[in-house]
C-alpha cells in the first residue's frame, strides 16, 4: 500500500497543480466575461441584451462536455486548433461566464429600485450609481452563488 502511494503521489500532485492552474484561469476569465455579459443583460441596448440572453441561455443549457468536445473537435474543421489545455480552459471559461453572467444579473436586479432612484436624486451618473450604490450591495448577494460556480469548475 505504501509503495503504491509513493509511486502515485508525484503524478497526483502534478494533477493537483494542473487542476488549480486551470481553475484559477477559468474563474478569473469567467468572472470578467460574466460580469460584462451580466451587465449587458441589464443595461445593454436591445441587440446587445438579445445576444447576451441567447449566449447565456444556450451555454447554460449545454452540458459542459459537449462544449469541450465542440471546441476541441469541431473548431479544427474551421482552422482553429487548440491544445487539450487550451480547449479545456476555453470551454470552461465560456461555461463559467454564462453562469456568472446570470449571477451578476440576479444580484444587480435584486437591489430595490428605491436605491437607484435615491442615487439618481442625489445626481449620481450611471457609472457612479453602479460603482457606489448598486454593486457594493449586489456583490454581497452574488458571492455565495459565485463560490458555488467556482467550486463546480474546480470539482467538475
Per-residue model confidence as pLDDT tens digits over 145-155:
999 999 999 98
| pLDDT score recorded for residue 103 | 98
Phi, psi of 2 (to 5 degrees): -65, -35
Residue pair 38/145 in contact by the 8 Å Cβ criterion: no
Nearby residues of 124 by Cβ (< 8 Å), 6 or more positions away: 132, 133
Nearest to 96 by CA among 45, 25, 149: 149
| pLDDT score recorded for residue 1 | 60
| pLDDT score recorded for residue 10 | 86
The domain locations on the chain are: 35-155
The Cα–Cα gap between 57 and 76 comes to: 25
Residue pair 82/90 in contact by the 8 Å Cβ criterion: yes
| pLDDT score recorded for residue 126 | 94
CATH for 35-155? 1.10.3720.10
The Cα–Cα gap between 42 and 127 comes to: 14
| pLDDT score recorded for residue 8 | 81
Residue pair 103/146 in contact by the 8 Å Cβ criterion: yes
| pLDDT score recorded for residue 150 | 96
CA dihedral 92, 29, 43, 48 (to 10 degrees): -60
Q: Could you list the pLDDT tens digit for every one of the 156 residues in the chain?
A: 667 777 888 888 898 999 999 999 999 999 999 999 999 999 999 999 999 999 999 999 999 999 999 999 999 999 999 999 999 999 999 999 999 999 999 999 999 999 999 999 999 999 999 999 999 999 999 999 999 999 999 987
Amino acid at each position: 500500500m505504501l509503495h503504491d502511494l509513493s509511486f502515485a503521489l508525484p503524478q497526483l500532485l502534478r494533477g493537483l497543480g494542473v487542476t488549480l492552474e486551470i481553475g484559477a484561469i477559468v474563474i478569473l476569465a469567467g468572472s470578467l466575461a460574466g460580469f460584462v455579459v451580466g451587465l449587458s443583460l441589464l443595461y445593454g441596448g436591445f441587440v446587445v441584451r438579445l445576444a447576451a440572453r441567447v449566449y447565456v441561455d444556450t451555454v447554460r443549457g449545454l452540458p459542459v462536455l459537449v462544449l469541450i468536445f465542440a471546441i476541441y473537435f469541431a473548431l479544427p474543421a474551421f482552422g482553429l486548433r487548440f491544445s487539450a489545455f487550451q480547449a479545456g480552459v476555453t470551454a470552461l471559461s465560456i461555461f463559467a461566464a454564462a453562469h456568472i453572467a446570470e449571477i451578476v444579473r440576479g444580484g444587480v436586479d435584486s437591489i430595490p429600485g428605491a436605491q437607484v432612484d435615491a442615487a439618481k436624486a442625489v445626481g449620481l451618473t450611471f457609472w457612479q450609481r453602479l460603482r457606489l450604490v448598486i454593486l457594493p450591495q449586489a456583490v454581497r448577494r452574488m458571492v455565495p452563488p459565485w463560490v458555488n460556480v467556482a467550486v463546480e469548475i474546480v470539482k467538475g
